[in-house]
Chain A
């Protein structure tokens, strides 16, 4: 098998990259060891969030948010995207001080997508919030999408432009032969001019095959979802300094996250849950929204996600090989970035450059210069 570009990993970054390359006439092959959107891209909380981003990520995230707002038309699919807004709740004055501090930095850079809201506006937008909460920050552009659907929307659009997806196909080894990469996979050898590493929690292994070392770790952020309940929250809800995150979907179910981690068993391709921590997340949800005491948990799960030490992704060219690129390590907030990352990777593959400053996302940013 041959392709101009071989993408390793069928998550949202790999599928969006495949889409952007295929629509520009490039022959693309995606190998995915399980099935499309099996791990972090398919089972995450679906948050499409611009608020609270690391400043280094804001330009990419803003562009991605613009793309989300027209993504369904572009991909001719239903990604489930809803721009319901997102509110980070301030529980006390210390939270307000942190928000003011950030507001100043954002204004200095000319960003206006985050807005501090008063206690009254908080109450108006979230009538069921606990009355002790003092205010918050809001982004009107934010919302959520359905992760599995969104990732597959990119896949199906890429296929319409001629990309090929090989599911159940694991990369076993990579060799550089002349101007080409030769990839050994569980379905035979694939020859490609360029490699793109979008392998998520397995990306450090693919990076090593390419020749780059990277301090990637993995973890299992846990989620739980309730049975349908009456509508009580339209915007996505987070908190400035507490482990609170939930969203109520249009069908009435409430997805509760908050960042608590279970146990990641990467070798076995699975996760286990830490029930004591999930119980803590339940307590936090009820503290902020007493109405949640009436909720019934229907399912709990965790996905395998890749983390970098600074919680910033790796996006950019390989440093120890030609014609190889990386996009991974999104540290539990990469879903929203998918659309723009696909564009950035296609630009890198085709022109060697990007419109964005990617210096914060270099793969070698942790390389030690001396022992």
Chain B
């Protein structure tokens, strides 16, 4: 939205292909049509999103809702499903904003019914005003605390918050705190959430380790160690320990990526304006590297400024002058982000499965032991392991297992993750109906304008 607004302010229009039913993405999902009686329960940041959405809606941007992009070619062709057919559009400049996915937490039982992510809790709440009573929330990071606080404001009972933030992280992150104070507002918000949770009397367990889901057929609770072995019974367990860039679109397009050790995640390799290894493709927001909602707004604007320069709308020195305050803001946010990344850096034992029977690939039901066997039989590379075990071949296209597989292969060979690499991905980026695809022809959408 920020990029489209910037283009609009300079007299250009953009075609925005959005899978969502309304503008707002994940963070501001349903902000203009909230089903909640009082959306302020979701916090002032969420409500503020309504302003952005309304400015965007009134801009020159052409928003196509329900446009599910399943292929972006380096030739600038974009294929997407829309209203039951495949459409194609050719673009001179492309900005990809695929957002974040939640970091998988492959503990024993994590694939049982009743185990969900904190992000799923947010989607249910924002879109459908649905909540789970007496749920356990486990993991670490701002999103986890935010959803717990949102639940409490709505009067929903929470069975417990199991905080897995390692105690030593507080020490490790402390040196980064002074630099992070530029993000004081954000820091204060985070602290306020935590004290809000404590005041509400929710049992909070700290420095939790050895998590496992209780139950055989479905989740019945969570066991963990925190001042001794603990057990909480619950029908629903929400897990969360941070987010990762959603890799499939940028990977399938073949953009250069690199491993970021601070965020323990693959980032798209790009310049300050979000320009990727392909000159006409830019990436903004969490999809390139986690920057948060505020960072994403700046990145979108900067990418648009760069696109305007590339389209000859203004000179690069003019761009640099306009960009300066935004870049400074981003640097300030980055210092805060480094603090958060260090503080909430997940435990290795929660990032990679420990139990040989733990399912790694949900789609193809591949367990840690299956992957280890494939490795022993000679598969050293994520793609070789995929070919051998089918891990990553299912409908999610490796979104869930990809980071785990790269991590495991790195661990087993004592190699940097960067050297191990990631799955080679292809379009389509979602299940595509054969009937829809069979009717594919080059349709130039009438949503014209400068693309």
Contact = CB atoms under 8 A, between A and B. Distances in A.
A283 B74 CA distance: 26
Interface residues on chain A, size class? 35 or more
Nearest to B390: A251
Given A297-B428, A298-B431, A283 B397 contact: no
A276 interface: yes
B184 interface: no
Given A273-B427, A300-B428, A301-B426, A286 B378 contact: no
Given A152-B377, A279-B438, A279-B440, A296 B387 contact: no
B434 A285 contact: yes
Contacts of B19: none
A344 interface: no
Contact of B438 (A270, A286, A296): A286
A300 B429 CA distance: 10
Contact of A292 (B377, B383, B434): B434
A293 B435 contact: yes
B378 A275 contact: no
A286 B395 CA distance: 21
Contacts of A37: 387
A261 interface: no
A335 to B, nearest CB: 14
A294 interface: yes
Contacts of A155: 378
B326 interface: no
Contacts of A295: 433-434
A296 B393 CA distance: 14
A227 interface: yes
Interface residues of B, number: 32
Contacts of B440: 275-276, 279, 282
Contact of A298 (B387, B388, B395): B395
Interface centre among A148, A226, A276, A294 (most CB of B within 10 A): A148
A42 B387 CA distance: 8
A272 interface: yes
A279 B79 CA distance: 12
Interface string A254-297: 00000000000000001011011011001101100000111111
A283 B73 contact: no
B314 interface: no
B71 A296 contact: no
A324 B397 CA distance: 43
Contacts of A117: none
Contacts of B438: 279, 282-283, 285-286, 293
B167 interface: no
B71 A297 contact: no
A297 B394 CA distance: 11
Nearest to B394: A298
A272 B73 contact: yes
Contacts of B434: 226, 282, 285-286, 292-297
A242 interface: no
A342 B100 CA distance: 48
A299 B79 CA distance: 15
Interface string A20-51: 00000000000000011110001100000000
A275 B79 contact: yes
Contacts of A300: 426-428
B419 to A, nearest CB: 11
A158 to B, nearest CB: 12
A149 interface: yes
A42 B378 CA distance: 14
Given A35-B380, A275-B79, A298-B395, A149 B435 contact: no
Nearest to A42: B387
Interface string B348-385: 00000000000000000000000000000110110110
B437 A278 contact: yes
Nearest to A287: B438
Interface string A44-69: 00000000000000000000000000
A87 interface: no
Contacts of B437: 278-279, 282, 297
A275 B326 CA distance: 40
Interface in B412-445: 426-428, 431-435, 437-442
Nearest to A285: B434
B268 to A, nearest CB: 19
Contacts of A36: 378, 384
Nearest to B425: A299
Contacts of A292: 434
Nearest to B397: A299
Nearest to A284: B438
Contacts of B380: 35, 167
Contacts of A285: 434, 438
Interface of A: 35-38, 42-43, 148-149, 152, 155-156, 167, 226-227, 270, 272-273, 275-276, 278-279, 282-283, 285-286, 292-301
15 contacts: A43-B387, A227-B431, A278-B437, A279-B440, A282-B434, A282-B438, A286-B434, A286-B438, A292-B434, A296-B395, A296-B433, A298-B393, A298-B394, A299-B428, A300-B426
Closest 3 CB pairs of A and B: A282-B438, A148-B387, A279-B440
Given A152-B388, A297-B428, 5 more contacts: A272-B74, A275-B71, A286-B438, A296-B395, A301-B426
